[in-house]
Amino acid sequence: MSLVRFNRNRFPWNENLVDFFNRDTFINDDFFNLEKSLPAMNVKERQDDFEIELAAPGFDKKDFEITMKDDLLEVSAQKTKEETKEEEAYTRQEFNYNSFRRSMQLPSAVDQSKEVKATYKDGILKMHLLKMEEAKEKPKRIIEVV
């Protein structure tokens, strides 16, 4: 018995059907992909603190709600805009609704008793979470050999 290489051109009527089921185009559709609605996030660990950046353009400072409880930091924002314009023969109504909720588990090095500093500028939400004194990196000691 010998192996024969599969030739797609031999069965042209099956090509699109096979590709459809292999690609999972229906399941990977943007409608079902919830990750697309979450803002991108950067986390930087520095010597004294952690800096978390969220890319959330189009919001105002008052739209954000940041909570921290039981080693869980949750950032959410909601913005609703409605506009109605009435003229002689027609009524135009436009509305825009934008929201997200993102949660992250905090490392044990975060000092939850300290205040979290949050700023929002140019579409970037920055949060600074201070580290506990025990978790801060200690400077290297040089030991002299005698």
What's the whole-number mean pLDDT along residues 115-131? 93
Q: Return the number of other C-beta atoms located less than 10 Å from residue 48's C-beta.
A: 11
71 Rama sector, left if φ>0, alpha if ψ -120 to 50, beta otherwise = left
Residue 62 within a domain: yes
Q: Can you read off the two tokens belonging to residue 80?
A: 């609703």
Residue 11 within a domain: no
When comparing pLDDT for 42 and 16, which is higher?
42
Determine the structural domain holding residue 113 and report its residue range.
Answer: 37-135
Residue 67 within a domain: yes
pLDDT tens sequence across 101-116: 999 998 888 888 888 8
The enclosing domain of 93 has a CATH number of 2.60.40.790
- Which pLDDT score, from 0 to 100, does residue 90 have? 74
When comparing pLDDT for 58 and 125, which is higher?
125
Q: What are phi and psi of 15, to 5 degrees?
A: -60, -50
Q: How far apart are CA 130 and CA 62, in angstroms?
A: 23
Q: Is the pLDDT of residue 96 over 50?
A: yes
Amino acid sitting at position 63 = D
Residue 122 within a domain: yes
Residue 91 within a domain: yes
* DSSP E strands, 6-143: 41-45, 49-55, 64-69, 72-86, 91-105, 117-121, 124-130
Provide the pLDDT confidence category of residue 36 given band limits of 50, 70 and 90: low
